[in-house]
Amino acid sequence: MYPAIFLDRDGVIIENRPNYVRSWEDVHIYPQSLTALASIHNSSFKIIVVTNQSAVGRGLISLKTANVINERLITEIEQHGGRIDRVFMCPHTPDEGCNCRKPQPGLILRAEKELSLDLTRSIMIGDALSDIQAGQSAGITRTMLVRTGRGVEQVNLRKSLDLKPFQIFDTLSDALDSLK
């Protein structure tokens, strides 16, 4: 069984967009995230993206378009020396009540099953408390919030939720550097 580093996409690897990422033109990769992902290329961890993409469920983009954006992002990361082993995406809207939309742990649990992962040795990195909740609900003990994306506002909300302690870093690069 493998440990994994679970990463949220929007706000961690790429910039959040107020009107959703609808095409490749909307993708703005944080330069430090490319360097950070390259630095863990040879890691024994599986590197997994878990992302909510309600733009699909809202009819703003097709599932095919969402998958093409993710594939192109992986290619860009690989061209900069990094790797993503797999992307797990929830296409549902918040009101659909699925078990895969974070803060529910469904995407992580699906990854665990499909990739033979050891969640107790895994890490979750996100820019929202829903990422932290999903990781902790799935049994991930080391969770990290980054201040990129929505992270700055989310840090101030943490007292309102019943969360186990988690670490806070400025960027994905800082979070991954803490693992070395």
Global pTM reads 0.95
- Give me the mean pLDDT over the 51-73 stretch: 97
Alpha helices in the chain (DSSP H): 31-39, 54-57, 63-79, 106-115, 129-138, 151-157, 172-177
Is there a contact between 151 and 145 (Cβ–Cβ < 8 Å)?
Answer: yes
Q: pLDDT-based confidence at 33, cuts 50/70/90?
A: very high
On the 0-12 / 13-18 / 19+ scale of CB atoms within 10 A, 115 is middle
| Catalytic residue IDs | 8, 10
Quick: pLDDT tens for 63-110. Answer: 999 999 999 999 999 999 999 999 999 999 999 999 999 999 999 999
pLDDT of 159 higher than 90: no
- The amino acid present at 123, given as its one-letter code, is I
Share of residues in the chain with pLDDT > 90 (%): 91
Question: According to the model, what pLDDT value does residue 160 have?
Answer: 57
Domains of the chain, start order:
4-177 (3.40.50.1000)
